[in-house]
Amino acid sequence: MPTALERRARLLGPQMTTFYQDPLHVVRGEGVWLWDKDGRRYLDCYNNVPHVGHCHPRVVEAISHQAGTLNTHTRYVHDLILDYGEALTAKFSHDLSSLLMVCSGSEANDVALRMAQAMTGKTGIIGTDNTYHGNTAAVSQLNSSKVPVGGYQDHVRQVPAPDNMAPVGGTREGQAEAFAKGVEAAIAELEANGHGVSAMILCPYFANEGFPTIEAGFLDRAIAAVRRAGGVIIADEVQPGFGRIGSHWWGHERLGFEPDIVTLGKPMANGHPVAAVVTRPEILATFQDAFKYFNTFGGNPVSAAAAMAVLQVIEDEALVANAQSVGDYALSSVNDLKGNHDVIADVRGVGLFFGVELWRDGKPATDLCAAMVDEMRDRGVLLHSVGRYENTLKVRPPCVFSQDNADLLVQVMDDALRAVG
């Protein structure tokens, strides 16, 4: 009788990675908790997809009810996508009032890049050198850690990403200017090689870059340069969006800029495969004129119902405020660990998206970080790593995370650091 891991390797391929040395075989979820097949409970401090908590009853009920009533596509008229579209776009400013619903953040970014191309007539794209925006052939050109099949094409420029411990330009204070210079150099290269600048695409929290500490205005000079070159700004809000950062619904609001296109994904429907592009009507119409896009599953009634339930739960349970208050509390508690553990080089984040960067002997403590991830899993707390050297513990729990949950996280982190540190 083959084990689950053997079946998995045979069916899904030997390279299909799992988290943890001892992979977690999950069977149930509720709120911030996951249970494994042996009945052991884990505090989920990592998963952003179950944004309002694993198996939230209102989302489950919305999916069940609509799946039992009607599920079809947008070539028929249905009210739910309209109700949801109005509710969602009400959360945006500066005429981001149109949407195109798809099934994954990858599909959303794949569309967003073509919207930019259709609007500008250009093909060059600027991203960072430590990022990931999805897995389609077109979007994987932006990935820095996973080289796309066939290698990189010359229409993408990866500019140095901000970083707390190794700041672009040498100092944290000078990073915004250094980042902008990187963007300006990329613009010059794309204009020289004939692509021109269609878009700069960024996560406004630099989530995959390790969420370096940046403030409002950080991107202003870089954005101005892109706009001068005729390009548009795409904010990939898949990770910071829907209030996770606590202070605002969207990462771009916190940084104080106005993207032309916003892409949404993972947390949008609590795990139901739903994603979207939100943009100005002019951009959507230009894209649709250029390409008669249709997505069979995108915006179907069940997807719209699931996404609407998530939006309502965020409001009704005040999860944005919760992200801020619990996030502040947790960050402060994690900061207090610094005194006990020299390996903690940096503690940073906002809302329910924060982390701890580990260094030892003047070097990124990549192995220690990996050991910590496994040690905490063994102690019943799930998190993972991020950053250029995978030396930052990444905490990004469901947004129903409580102060008690934060206390447990910090206690276990303290214990685990003592055990492996």
Q: Using alpha carbons, select from 17, 203, 13, 236 the residue that is nearest to residue 106.
A: 236
Out of 21, 41, 64, 170, the only residue in the binding site for its own copies (CB under 8 A) is 64
**Is residue 368 involved in binding its own copies (CB under 8 A)?**
no
User: Strands 33-36 and 41-44: what pairing?
Assistant: antiparallel
Tokens of 85: 């579209």
Residue whose CB is less far from its own copies, 255 or 283: 283
Contact map string, positions 104 to 143, toward its own copies, x by CB under 8 A: xxxx--x--xx--xx----x-----------xxxx-x---
Rg (CA), the chain: 21
Torsion of CA 283, 285, 290, 291, to 10 degrees: 110
Asked if 44 and 397 count as a contact pair (C-beta separation under 8 A), the reply is yes
C-beta of 279: minimal distance to its own copies in Å? 10
Site for its own copies in 139-198 (CB under 8 A): 140, 146-150
Q: Using alpha carbons, select from 118, 155, 84 the residue that is nearest to residue 284.
A: 118
**Is residue 350 involved in binding its own copies (CB under 8 A)?**
no
**Is residue 70 involved in binding its own copies (CB under 8 A)?**
yes
Residue whose CB is less far from its own copies, 71 or 213: 71
Single out the segment in contact with its own copies by CB under 8 A; choices: 59-67, 157-165, 331-339, 411-419: 59-67
C-beta of 347: minimal distance to its own copies in Å? 25
Residue whose CB is less far from its own copies, 55 or 337: 55
Site for its own copies in 244-303 (CB under 8 A): 265-266, 270-274, 281, 284-285, 287-300, 302-303
Computed from CA positions of residues 295, 297, 301, 100, in that sequence, does the dihedral angle turn out positive or negative? negative
Give CA–CA dist 354/341, Å, rounded: 18
Q: Using alpha carbons, select from 173, 168, 171 the residue that is nearest to residue 184.
A: 168
**Is residue 90 involved in binding its own copies (CB under 8 A)?**
no
Give CA–CA dist 204/235, Å, rounded: 6
Out of 38, 39, 77, 362, the only residue in the binding site for its own copies (CB under 8 A) is 77
Asked if 276 and 268 count as a contact pair (C-beta separation under 8 A), the reply is yes
Contact map string, positions 296 to 335, toward its own copies, x by CB under 8 A: xxxxx-xx--------------------------------
**Is residue 230 involved in binding its own copies (CB under 8 A)?**
no
Q: How many residues bind its own copies (CB under 8 A)?
A: 102
Give CA–CA dist 242/244, Å, rounded: 6
Residue whose CB is less far from its own copies, 18 or 332: 18
Out of 32, 45, 50, 156, the only residue in the binding site for its own copies (CB under 8 A) is 50
Tokens of 169: 């330009």
Give CA–CA dist 169/278, Å, rounded: 33
Residue whose CB is less far from its own copies, 18 or 403: 18
Only one residue has tokens 């003592």, namely 418
